[in-house]
Amino acid sequence: MLSAWLVLLSSFFIWQMTETQLIYKLNKMECQVNQSRVTNVSCHVKAINWNMAVVNMDCFMIVPLIKPVIRIQVFMKDYSNQYKPFLVDVTVKICDVIERRNFIPYGVITWKLFKRFTNVNHSCPFSGQLTARDGYLETNLLPPFPQGLYLISLIVMDTNSTNRDYVGTMKFFLQAMEQIRSRKKPRS
Ligand SMILES: *[C@@H]1O[C@H](CO)[C@@H](O)[C@H](O)[C@H]1NC(C)=O
Ligand SMILES: *[C@@H]1O[C@H](CO)[C@@H](O)[C@H](O)[C@H]1NC(C)=O
Ligand SMILES: *[C@@H]1O[C@H](CO)[C@@H](O)[C@H](O)[C@H]1NC(C)=O
Ligand SMILES: *[C@@H]1O[C@H](CO)[C@@H](O)[C@H](O)[C@H]1NC(C)=O
């Protein structure tokens, strides 16, 4: 009898686990740039449905990016409505990731997203018109963050042997949440 209950109970938990799927939904984004290096900037988030929104971005690089370095930071909104640092704060030499000389995880994730959704899909340097179309964050690219509101910030700098210049910042505001289903399945 007890074991029958355990089977029932555990099948209920399995049902729960398969029914709730975590997703990362983009709510908005902001871009700031060094205007002596980048012009014609536009960045937008477009909602597709309750669970999904996509990023479209355009900008023109007046000064080519030779050896860009990206600082990737994650912040989580706390109960006092402030974004606090959350686990991730890494600085990535993206050319090294592209040329497979570095396999730093968040750098590899960033490169996967660039390759899939942007024309920044080749080795350094990057110049001229840069665009991103219909970009989104697949759930399986990230570890399962606790549900809540997050800010992912990418600060881009360009470096040479003597200098490190600020190029721009992209801020993605997103929500880790359970997928919203249009139809509830009966709990038969
Ligand atoms: C920037 O946009 C303006 C207006 O759309 C256009 O006339 C100009 O050629 C663009 N400049 C660059 C560098 O793309
Ligand atoms: C890079 O992206 C451009 C524009 O989306 C595409 O035409 C090109 O084939 C891509 N190149 C590679 C190497 O994936
Ligand atoms: C490094 O960049 C700075 C500013 O962009 C430039 O003035 C300098 O000539 C560059 N140095 C080298 C060695 O390329
Ligand atoms: C913006 O870019 C210019 C040209 O490369 C550079 O001289 C300047 O230092 C940059 N601004 C910052 C805040 O790094």
For residues 88 and 73, give the distance between their C-alpha atoms in angstroms, rounded to a whole number.
Answer: 5
Is residue 96 within 8 Å of residue 70, measured between CB atoms? no
**DSSP secondary structure code for residue 185 in this structure:** P
Backbone torsions φ then ψ of 123, nearest 5 degrees: -75, 165
Q: Is residue 169 part of a domain?
A: yes
Q: Is residue 64 part of a domain?
A: yes
Provide the residue range defining the domain that includes 36. Answer: 22-176
pLDDT value, residue 188: 55
Site residues for ligand 1, CB cut-off 6 Å: 39-40, 60
Q: How far is the CA of 160 from the centre of ligand 3 (A)?
A: 6
Q: Where are the beta strands (DSSP E) in the chain?
A: 22-33, 38-49, 52-65, 68-77, 83-93, 126-135, 148-159, 164-178
For residues 134 and 152, give the distance between their C-alpha atoms in angstroms, rounded to a whole number.
Answer: 18
Per-residue pLDDT reduced to its tens digit, 115-164: 999 999 999 999 999 999 999 988 888 888 999 999 999 999 999 888 89
For residues 27 and 148, give the distance between their C-alpha atoms in angstroms, rounded to a whole number.
Answer: 12
Q: Is residue 185 part of a domain?
A: no
Determine which residue's CA is closest to atom 13 belonging to ligand 3: 161
Is residue 33 within 8 Å of residue 56, measured between CB atoms? no
3-state secondary structure of 118: strand
Q: Is residue 10 part of a domain?
A: no
Per-residue pLDDT reduced to its tens digit, 108-121: 999 999 999 999 99
Q: How far is the CA of 37 from the centre of ligand 4 (A)?
A: 7
Q: How far is the CA of 187 from the centre of ligand 3 (A)?
A: 65
pLDDT value, residue 34: 97
Q: Is residue 101 part of a domain?
A: yes
Q: Is residue 89 part of a domain?
A: yes
Q: Is residue 17 part of a domain?
A: no
Q: What is the CATH classification number for the domain harbouring 37? A: 2.70.220.10
Q: Where are the alpha helices (DSSP H) in the chain?
A: 2-19, 94-98, 105-117
Per-residue pLDDT reduced to its tens digit, 33-43: 999 999 999 99
Lookup: tokens for 139? 């759930």
Q: Is residue 15 part of a domain?
A: no
3-state secondary structure of 21: coil
* Predicted model pTM: 0.83
Q: Domain total for the chain?
A: 1
